[in-house]
Structure 1
Amino acid sequence: MALIITDECINCDVCEPECPNEAIYLGVEIYQIDPHKCTECVGHFDEPQCVQVCPVACIPIDPQFVEDRETLWQKYRRLQLELTKPVVL
């Protein structure tokens, strides 16, 4: 499952730097989460860090991106491979 930031977001800026996958970014009005990068912190932490630091509890599971724990692990591994892949110019 990926997480989603709802319109209750107050743009407090605390979630973005906590994301180990750099999945959180500032959208047009509020912060957003890229579901293709969000692993709910699987592979990094026991709990989603953005949820832990959010002062208004506006980061639920995104019902459009329901994934089991194994799928989140596979996404984590793919993201890690992308990070270590050499850049060819």
Structure 2
Amino acid sequence: MRFREFKDGWTLKSLGEICEKTKSGGTPKSTIKEYYEGNIPFLSISDMTIQGKYLFSTERNISELGLKSSASWIVPINCISFDFI
């Protein structure tokens, strides 16, 4: 797909050349209840699998403690999140 506004030829670039930040996350330990009693939407592979291209909600939320106790991170507004599966 190509947007009408783009008239120039295609340029091949690696993700590292066009991304400001690339990072993988990590799931907070599911056996610790306090990690999942929060209001921070937690994006999982299953959310992406079920909802497809555009996501409007997540199945689970995590707490600040869950965020700090894992490799999870908050994706800023107007950013893209994707999976290589």
TM-score, structure 1 as length reference:
0.26
Q: Which has the higher contact order (CA 8 A, sep 6+)?
A: 1
